[in-house]
Amino acid sequence: MMTPHMTDRIEGIYLDAVRRNGGELEFHQAVREVLGCLGPVLVKHPEFGKHKIIERILEPERQIIFRVPWQDDKGEIHINRGFRVEFNSALGPYKGGLRFHPSVTLSIIKFLGFEQIFKNALTGLPIGGAKGGADFDPKGRSEAEMMRFCQSFMTELYRYLGEYTDVPAGDIGVGTREINFMFGQYKRITNRYESGVVTGKSLNIGGAPVRTESTGYGLVYFLERMLQVKKEALEGKVCILSGAGNVAIHAIEKLQQLGAKVIACSDSGGYLYDENGIDLEALKYVKLAQRARLQAYLRHRPEASFVAGGNIWSIPCQIALPCATENELNGKDAEILVQNGCIAVAEGANMPTTPEGAQVFLEAGVSFGPGKAANAGGVATSALEMQQNASRDSWSFEHTETRLQEIMVGIHDLCYETAEEFGKKGNYVAGANIAGFIKVARAMVELGLV
């Protein structure tokens, strides 16, 4: 039971964080979700209160904001804003992706970095939490423009990185190509072939097999385990996913390999519905080879349909996987999914479900895997890439995928058992927040006041 004193204290810490980080709505939302689970933890671990761990964890260790000037193919000059928030290094070097999207602000990067602390702790691997990116829109940019932007971005960021300091990876708008360009620039400036300084590189230059697939594959392994607990199987289940990027495509691949039927996915323009099951080869060709819009899929499968501006969550399904962006599934969407018979939701994206949506799922008994647990496969495989780079080794696809699956099952079980221990059986949100927090908090106490 939470004592009123603890509730008051945590509420006070939250209000103080809101005041000190004015206008950062996404950051406030992420903080509120985590702090809302911590009352019982402070009762069980009064030392965390004494050491002011919550207050300290809310303050990033370092926040870097910088100018990114670059020239397009016509010679016109553009100025973007770059960010890196190095949030917490109690468990290891800062680790977290870079996002290139016009919606990027300090608030978005802080919410992602904050989530990353607990996600990385759940993997059990020695990595701290960070996030970065730029308010740059990669849509419609040529390869030469992407290279110039990545080089300019790294020309400033390199001074804060290092394999023992801060190790970025990809996120929205940043894939293998962009990571490779940034690594190339880092290598040139520093004169060091320091493979472990970024992850998500291509295989030729020290990348890990499965890194590209890992977030999507890991998400499905987490989902499979949630279903096992419910005594349900993935085979034959009808699934829908938002997004049509790295995470969504590889989640579809693993779902299909395990016998599920995926009938819809989406992008920011609308959703694609293919009643007979998405043709993965066609989808990969359109999105990965051609880098085209999702509608182009219809050229390969005329019997499918594309609903511009449509709400994907209105499609009846048994399993829903939001894999696009934050706050894309609200309370109303959740109610529709529940009415239509959805039994499980696992988040491939970061914080895609609003707090109201998550509440609807919890109350309806829908198994709900929050992103900080369910999409941790990406960062876990990044940590495996760091291990390979440090040992100058390279592992096979099968070996790496087996490790990924073990890690995802481990994360699931840790969240499940922690929720049960704290009297919240089946509540993966509470399980993930509490288990992740305790790991980091213990390390912070041990490290002293730093």
Which residues in this chain contact ligand NDP in the complex, by CB under 6 A? 103, 170-173, 215, 243-248, 267-269, 323-325, 348-350, 375, 378
Among residues 323, 335, 375, which one has the least CA distance to residue 359?
Answer: 335
Q: φ, ψ for residue 260 (rounded to 5)? A: -85, 165
Q: How far is the CB of 247 from ligand NDP (least distance, A)?
A: 4
Name beta bridge partners: 124: none
Q: How far is the CB of 123 from ligand NDP (least distance, A)?
A: 12
* Pick 56 or 141: Cβ nearer ligand NDP: 141
Q: How far is the CB of 324 from ligand NDP (least distance, A)?
A: 4
* Pick 383 or 441: Cβ nearer ligand NDP: 383
The beta-strand segments (E) located in 247-357 are 261-267, 270-273, 305-308, 319-322, 344-346
Judged on CB neighbours under 10 Å (0-12, 13-18, 19+), 450 is exposed
Active site annotation includes 131: yes
* Pick 13 or 223: Cβ nearer ligand NDP: 223
Residue nearest to ligand NDP according to CB distances in the complex: 245
Q: How far is the CB of 228 from ligand NDP (least distance, A)?
A: 23
69-78 contacts at long range (C-beta below 8 A, 24 or more positions apart): 69/152, 70/145, 70/148, 70/149, 70/152, 71/148, 72/141, 72/145, 73/142, 73/144, 73/145
Tokens representing 10?
């945590």
What SS3 string covers 67-136? EEEEECCCCCEEEEEEEEEEEECCCCCEEEEEEECCCCCHHHHHHHHHHHHHHHHHCCCCCCEEEEEECC
Q: Which amino acid does the sequence have at 436?
A: G
**Catalytic-role residue among 95, 110, 119, 131:** 131
Tokens representing 284?
């990969």
Q: Which residue has the tokens 């349900």?
A: 232
Q: How far is the CB of 103 from ligand NDP (least distance, A)?
A: 6
Among residues 132, 135, 162, which one has the least CA distance to residue 149?
Answer: 135
Q: How far is the CB of 134 from ligand NDP (least distance, A)?
A: 14
* Pick 81 or 293: Cβ nearer ligand NDP: 293
* Pick 41 or 328: Cβ nearer ligand NDP: 328
* Pick 1 or 308: Cβ nearer ligand NDP: 308
Q: Give the Cα separation of 170 and 176 in Å (integer).
A: 7
Give the catalytic positions in this structure. 131
